[in-house]
A and B are shown apart, each in its own frame.
Chain A
């Protein structure tokens, strides 16, 4: 009996510790080093896209973006440039619009089709219908970017954050965080900066 009494604080601790870990991982979404779940989302042409469709990809640049956020718009040309540069090197761009179109009509499926056409997107622009995918990533805003690498275990998150250090002014960029991360992966080097931050628009639920 004495032994059991001694065990109680331990049991309480384990219970709370596990409860805390669970809720933390649910709230925050993927961290660097986590393996992501594949998704199947509708592209603007009506086809469904999964990461598994890309047999030859070494990884992906996944960007949560939208039509309406000025920060997202400021990055459109740079996202197109990223796809041009890295798709052929095995890291294509996958863009996902996480916003609820009922809250933000400017982010409707039709508006996405129109925007992609206007800008000449060379990559899929997917709808997060029912808003089920972005919470898994822990995306909180547009734009919010992830670089993942294909491994034997699955797609591993290697970088989370901003594309560069000057969201509002592409001419003032000094640090190309995301490119540096992808370059490091291609060269088999350690990524120096695995997480960065930038201002963005909250995801509309």
Chain B
């Protein structure tokens, strides 16, 4: 009888111990998961705040591309903008990728996308519901479909509601006065 009790106690002790150990392990795992989560601080603007990217008057050429993670043709052409940014950043060209993703996917889709694709160009987010107002302010010819791209410097501005190849993009940058 005494032996039985001893065994039961022994068993309980071990099972308790087991539980504690596994709990600790679980804790460590959570900590590790958090550590690898994307550490990206999104720059989110309403249109008033965003406007500064459209009206710079320094020596640079700015390439402003409107895109979203859900937009197939946008995602397809992103590598060309990335390539342009990499090859021309020493030549006073700056690419700014303007995400129009919905706020509820910033964490679940946009941040992981930026990290997975390892985007090097500056990504900003435009979060402004009053599209009827700001689409026209960006360009009156824009119907509102994306991808859409603005190329500008202090002398000239061009707007495109279309997809680009790298060659087309490079040519437009070179042609800007």
Contacts and interface: CB of A to CB of B under 8 A. Distances in A.
Given A70-B70, A140-B161, A199 B130 contact: no
Contacts of B102: 70, 74, 168
B129 A199 contact: no
Contacts of A198: 131-132, 135, 144
- SS class, residues of chain A in contact with chain B: loop
A43 B136 CA distance: 35
A15 B10 CA distance: 102
A169 interface: yes
A166 B134 CA distance: 12
Contacts of B54: none
Interface residues of B, number: 22
Given A140-B145, A202-B147, A203-B145, A162 B131 contact: yes
Contacts, number: 65
Given A70-B102, A104-B72, A140-B161, A172 B144 contact: no
Contact of B132 (A69, A197, A200): A197
A19 B147 CA distance: 29
Interface string B101-137: 0110000000000000000000000000111100110
Interface residues of A, number: 26
Given A104-B72, A197-B135, A169 B145 contact: no
A169 B146 CA distance: 19
Contacts of A89: none
Interface string B72-111: 1100000000000000000000000000101100000000
Interface of A: 69-70, 74, 104, 140-141, 144, 161-162, 165-169, 172, 175, 177, 196-204
Interface of B: 68, 70-73, 100, 102-103, 129-132, 135-136, 142-147, 161, 163
